[in-house]
Amino acid sequence: MLGIHDYGLFVATGVLLNLTPGQDTLYILGRSLAQGRQIGVASALGISAGGVVHALAAALGLSAEPRALALLPQRRLLRAAPR
């Protein structure tokens, strides 16, 4: 089991994972190269705004709400099924 003696490994791994480009970085890079700097900046701001909205929803406990709403039609079908 990992303990506090592995804290350096934890920090190094966290930094490495944060520096690794993900899908959003590739999306911004692709839009910037294809359509210019202004569109790239707009894409970056849009992704950042989406992250802020997601974080606020999680902080308010609303992250599970969309999943629960998506399951409502399935629950209605299960109740209406003959037994």
Ranges of the chain whose pLDDT falls below 50: none
Query: What's the pLDDT at 20?
Result: 87
Indicate the domain borders of the chain. 7-80
Distance between start and end Cα atoms, the chain: 49
- 22 Ramachandran zone, left/alpha/beta (phi>0; psi -120 to 50): beta
pTM: 0.58
Query: What's the pLDDT at 19?
Result: 86
DSSP labels for 21-46? --HHHHHHHHHHHHH-HHHHHHHHHH
Structure tokens at 19: 């520096």
Structure tokens at 56: 């606020």
Residue 61 carries which DSSP code? T
Tens-digit pLDDT profile for residues 19-31: 888 899 999 999 9
